Amino acid sequence: MCFVCGLQNPAGLKLAFYEDPEAGQVRAEFVVPDEYQGYPGVVHGGIIAAVLDEVSGRAVLIRGSDEDLMATLKITIRYRRPTPTGTLLTAVGWVERMGGMGARVAGEIRLPDGTVTAECESALVHPPQEFFDQWEAEKPYWKVYE
């Protein structure tokens, strides 16, 4: 039921994320319908933030396992230009640094010509065990594809 990736969420974006191990990135191609606009023809900033949070956070799963899952502690979003609805977009996430307690990750949303419309930097941490206990039932639906 994740808003960004949940296939069973009728109101969700249903994004599928793919690994690019050579580049050390996670990617998703998607189109945001007008129902999620802020201004006419422009994706709402909260939707942009949700997609960036998801794609950058998934980067820690490259070449790893579901046990590498982390949660966002802090995210900073920079909106560089309006992101249009009804346009093929690419979200890209990568790890900048792994540490003992967590990771620093980043992400971008790009137009078909490569122009970056928004970017993020995030600090991730390992969630408490209670999170993983609830997470077990969701694992089959939360996947990064090769």
Domain ranges, residue 41: 17-136
**What CATH code is carried by the domain that includes residue 124?**
3.10.129.10
Give the burial string for 83-120 (b: 16+ CB within 10 Å, else e): bbbeeebebbbbbeeeeeebbebbbbbbeeeeeebbbb
Provide the pLDDT for residue 111.
Answer: 98
In a domain, 141, yes or no: no
Q: What length does the chain have?
A: 146
In a domain, 144, yes or no: no
In a domain, 146, yes or no: no
Label each residue of 6-44 as H, E or C.
CCCCCCCCCCCEEEECCCCEEEEEEECCHHHECCCCEEC
Give how many domains the chain has, as a whole number: 1
In a domain, 117, yes or no: yes
- Per residue in 130-144, pLDDT tens? 877 776 676 666 666
In a domain, 102, yes or no: yes
Provide the pLDDT for residue 2.
Answer: 87
In a domain, 36, yes or no: yes
Structure tokens at 111: 């137009």
For residue 34, pLDDT over 70 is answered with yes
In a domain, 60, yes or no: yes
- Per residue in 81-105, pLDDT tens? 999 999 999 999 999 999 888 999 9
